[in-house]
A and B are shown apart, each in its own frame.
Chain A
């Protein structure tokens, strides 16, 4: 999967790959910077599946584009 092919999945708010591909094929994921073997990546990918599903739950919030509509993307956390 090329970088452009991964774009729609990212825009939906997560790392879900397009049909017929896997997360590990999404070349720009930080995990690939570790230079692991394809077997190690595949093993970790299976282990990471619940994490990715949970990450996608935040899509349900319909938070909109970045920055958030309030103008405060919440990147910096400062307790009041």
Chain B
């Protein structure tokens, strides 16, 4: 911290780092931290050291990280600090400590996907998103824990890494699969993280941990350098504590990636700046027939109704819309497309017994895709065309669709593995099977199928003190209005300001 102390003392500022408690430094928003860095009230080095200290204090219990990169973080932070001292500030992410889901390649730092298969793999090149964040001079704290290969079925025990623990109550699930990212951000161990989402893997852990998760339009964030789960439903996106911070990250992450064939060539708007103008004239929508079909926990329903009323009170009209076959989206996306593409991704590994033996639970989960046929895949793609068209029609009458993020609050973790928990829930009744099987992803995975941008924001806390979330869904490439609306919601509520009891 020596680089900055002199400045702080000389300024005798009431907001200098030596007067801000460590936990307060770690719960600053990126927006506030960047302003304090620019004003030389705090240094990137102080900010980074505070996060490293908090990681050492808490992460032995929370398990948000697979690999802690203390030396790299301090080197990054010293460089960022020196640059600020010389008047060179690269932007709002300059000196901001972050993590990445450990499926995102980091040059010189092992990238494991939480699997023994890649336990010792050290990439020689950064993934697209890591390179962009490094260019913005963010600080690499470490690689975030996840469900093995993003597909281990939630928070069950894993062979290589134990699951990250929910900071609100360690006896409850932190969701999956980008749960290490969500846990770290919620616990003040990182200011932001970048995760991946093929069926809800950013939004579900964000909702379960009380943070913001953003899955942008398919193709807006380039995925080169990611260990993928599923090519055509896979997305990358930020996890942060506020919508404002999500806007800051998205501005850095979005843009053409020549090594990702799905990458979109589009002008990236100044998302952060656009938050300052209140979104006028947006028409919000509910799809009650779909929510009735999926169902939701009574407390989730209550908080969702409250959130809808907040939007009404802000002057946004609420309309009812119909997407007749949305109830099939989860089967098409999560069940068929994601599983078949994941099976193809891992096929060569699975054929080698020596490599196959290194897989944990992910093998059984992904191998299930090998029982599906080419026709199952085509049927799912047909359903995708049908549902995408229906959703586009619905968006002629509204601008933003609202749903809960998950039908239920975080579930209690039992001694059983995730696989056993799923199996236990299935029962034998076909209708129960259908309802429970992909229950947690019922509201998230449809929009992996259609590619629409989706923002998940904290929208309440249950009687057990567990967070729940709400989704805001827009037309493709309407991220700016989505972020602006989410920001208005957070200006009117304080759910995102709550901190876990650590």
Contacts and interface: CB of A to CB of B under 8 A. Distances in A.
Contacts of B381: 73-75, 77
A60 to B, nearest CB: 7
A42 to B, nearest CB: 12
A54 B438 contact: yes
B335 A31 contact: no
Contacts of A70: 385
A4 interface: no
A15 B383 contact: no
B370 A34 contact: yes
Interface stretch (B170-178, B186-194, B403-411, B426-434): B426-434
Nearest to A40: B367
A8 B91 CA distance: 61
Contacts of A35: 351
Nearest to B477: A79
Contact of A29 (B356, B370, B380, B392): B370
A25 B325 CA distance: 33
Contacts of A15: 371-373, 376
Interface residues of A, number: 39
Interface in B318-361: 325, 328, 331-332, 335-336, 339, 343, 347, 350-351, 356
Most chain A C-beta atoms within 10 Å of own C-beta, residue among B351, B368, B379: B379
B373 A50 contact: no
A22 to B, nearest CB: 11
B336 A31 contact: no
Contacts of B331: 54-55, 57-58
Nearest to B217: A79
Interface string A49-73: 0111111011111010010101011
B289 interface: no
A57 B434 contact: yes
A14 B368 contact: no
Contact of B351 (A11, A34, A54, A77): A34
Given A73-B378, A79-B218, A57 B372 contact: no
A13 B328 CA distance: 15
17 contacts: A13-B379, A30-B343, A30-B369, A30-B372, A31-B371, A47-B419, A47-B423, A55-B376, A55-B379, A57-B328, A58-B331, A61-B325, A61-B379, A61-B383, A63-B383, A68-B385, A79-B264
Interface of B: 217-219, 232, 264, 325, 328, 331-332, 335-336, 339, 343, 347, 350-351, 356, 364, 367-373, 375-376, 378-386, 388, 392, 419, 423, 426, 430, 433-434, 437-438, 450-452, 476-477
Interface of A: 10-11, 13-15, 23, 29-35, 44-45, 47-48, 50-55, 57-61, 63, 66, 68, 70, 72-75, 77, 79-80
